[in-house]
Amino acid sequence: MPPPRKVIIDTDPGQDDAVAILMALASPDALEVIGITAVAGNVPLALTQKNARIVCELAGRPDVKVFAGCDAPLSRKLMTAEHVHGRTGLDGPALPDPVMPLQDGHAVDFLIDTLRREPAGSVTLCALGPLTNLATAFRAAPDIVGRLREIVLMGGACFEVGNVTPAAEFNIHVDPEAAEIVFKSGVDLVVMPLDVTHKALVTRPRNAAFRALSSTVGRAVADMTGFLDRFDPEKYGSEGAPLHDPCVTAWLLAPDLFTGRRINVEIETKGAFTTGMTVADWWGVSGRRANALFLGDVDAGGLFALLTERLARL
């Protein structure tokens, strides 16, 4: 069996971020989480770094190093999503405040130092929120770009268009300048857009399967995904809320659950109506070089079976 893949999770928890983190921490045979870097996004940084530590303790992993990163986009005012995630970002379950400490130092410095220290090609970045921390690190230390194995990120859309504007998905829209830096960096990118995540729906039977685990983690995840259910089904007319970020973890564990194609993706930063749009050349009409594996479909049943099995380990 190969050694676990080394991953850093860059995140703005967020209930779905929390589930993605739990899934990763439940899979030490496959994933070695060498650090978690928090960024402002779904809620401000003071809450995202706190929520990341809450989730680590929920998983029984207070040893995981959590760093606070950028508290605002590169050049824009922060836009948050309390209307989706609640005041704390983890509304739903009643979880205690964390005891484990926040690490000294900035998340960007941790990213730079770690990528310089670890063997080239050995670390994967899992980006679950706005890409501010990653872009800041790339600008400060261009030498780390070529040392990454790949970036697997949740963001963007093609046929599903936008969820925060008619054209843009939230993570990319919050900091499109950062996304542009990452997408133009040359790093091997795997992108989980809304086209995939809107098929990963927490239906009532899937929520019940979490609760049926009869564990603290199972109940917490059921409460988190149940909280999200108040918003998205009404918005989209769907049978449950999309579980966006766990698709990133699922890709690392079982890529055969997903299908997509390598295409060119550009980030719109100046559009009057389309700022933050991922201009995904699905049909290959632009002639631009492919820079991302852009996923288009997922075996949702297989994804939720995998997720439930992993959560049962915690």
- The 10s digit of each residue's pLDDT in 40-71 is 999 999 999 999 999 999 999 999 999 999 99
pLDDT at res. 178: 99
Cα 284–chain centre separation = 26
Active site residue 244: yes
Instruction: Collect all residues with Cβ–Cβ distance below 8 Å to 66 and sequence separation of at least 6.
Output: 35, 36, 37, 38, 49, 52, 53, 56, 100, 102, 103
> Is residue 276 within 8 Å of 165, Cβ to Cβ?
yes
Q: How does 139-171 read in b/e, with b if 16+ C-beta sit within 10 Å?
A: eebeebbebbbbbbbbbbbbebbbbbbebbbbb
Catalytic residue among 85, 173, 198, 244: 244
CATH number among 3.40.50.150, 3.90.245.10, 3.40.640.10, 3.40.50.300, domain 5-311? 3.90.245.10
Average of per-residue pLDDT across 283-289: 98
Q: Would you give the DSSP letter of residue 257?
A: G
Average of per-residue pLDDT across 188-193: 98
- The 10s digit of each residue's pLDDT in 192-248 is 999 999 999 999 999 999 999 999 999 999 999 999 887 666 666 678 889 999 999
Instruction: Collect all residues with Cβ–Cβ distance below 8 Å to 203 and sequence separation of at least 6.
Output: 239, 240
> Is residue 303 within 8 Å of 199, Cβ to Cβ?
no
> Is residue 281 within 8 Å of 175, Cβ to Cβ?
no
Strand, coil or helix: what is 123?
A: strand
Q: Would you give the DSSP letter of residue 106?
A: B
pLDDT at res. 20: 98
Cα–Cα distance, 146 to 193 (Å, whole number): 24
Average of per-residue pLDDT across 33-44: 98
Cα–Cα distance, 37 to 53 (Å, whole number): 10
What is the radius of gyration, based on Cα positions, of the chain?
18
> Is residue 84 within 8 Å of 231, Cβ to Cβ?
yes
Give, for 148, the enclosing helix (H) or strand (E).
strand 148-154
SS (H, E, C) 163-218: CCCCCCCHHHHHCHHHHHHHHCCCCCEEEECHHHHCCCEECHHHHHHHHCCCCHHH
Name the amino acid, one letter, at 224: M
Is the full-model pTM beyond 0.85?
yes
Strand, coil or helix: what is 21?
A: helix
- The 10s digit of each residue's pLDDT in 101-136 is 999 999 999 999 999 999 999 999 999 999 999 999
Cα 131–chain centre separation = 10
Does the N-terminal peptide bond of residue 186 adopt cis geometry, omega within 30 degrees of 0? no
pLDDT at res. 146: 97
Cα–Cα distance, 278 to 258 (Å, whole number): 20
